[in-house]
Amino acid sequence: MSEHTFQLIVRRWLHDTYFPRGVWWPNTTGYGDSHHPPFGGPGAADLIGLLDGRWVEIELKTQSGVWSPLQQQRKQLVERAGGVYILLRCSEGWQSVLQNQLCK
């Protein structure tokens, strides 16, 4: 499955599972448009959201996708500020992994 397809599936699952407690949008860093302005900066995750008032970033990767040093630095920045940063790989059981990380 491509990362784009995985993102669409995860976004739908997040909406169905957490709305109205959570809102989610795709991060368009580098190529924002009038409907989806860019958020964050270099290393910002693929999905950005708020869950119960808490900032959440979710970086989506295929099984072979590489987590860049900029993304690793972004995780530290988000967590220092009290937010949640999740690296989520496309694999069986991703829903459980995501739910466990969001409930911390």
> At 67, which CATH number?
3.40.1350.10
Q: What is residue 20's predicted lDDT score, i.e. its pLDDT?
A: 92
pLDDT tens profile 14-70: 999 999 999 998 887 655 555 555 566 778 899 999 999 999 999 999 989 999 999
Q: What is the pTM of this model?
A: 0.86
Q: What is residue 104's predicted lDDT score, i.e. its pLDDT?
A: 72
Count CB neighbours of 65 within 10 A: 14
Q: What is residue 29's predicted lDDT score, i.e. its pLDDT?
A: 60
Q: Domain range spanning residue 44?
A: 3-102
Question: Tokens at residue 82, please?
Answer: 């009290």
The residue count for the chain? 104
Indicate if the pLDDT at residue 103 is higher than 60.
yes
Helix 3-18 vs helix 94-102: crossing angle, to nearest 10 = 50
How far is residue 69's CA from residue 37's CA, in Å, rounded to a whole number?
24
CB 47 within 8 A of CB 78: no
Q: What is residue 38's predicted lDDT score, i.e. its pLDDT?
A: 57
Number of domains in the chain: 1
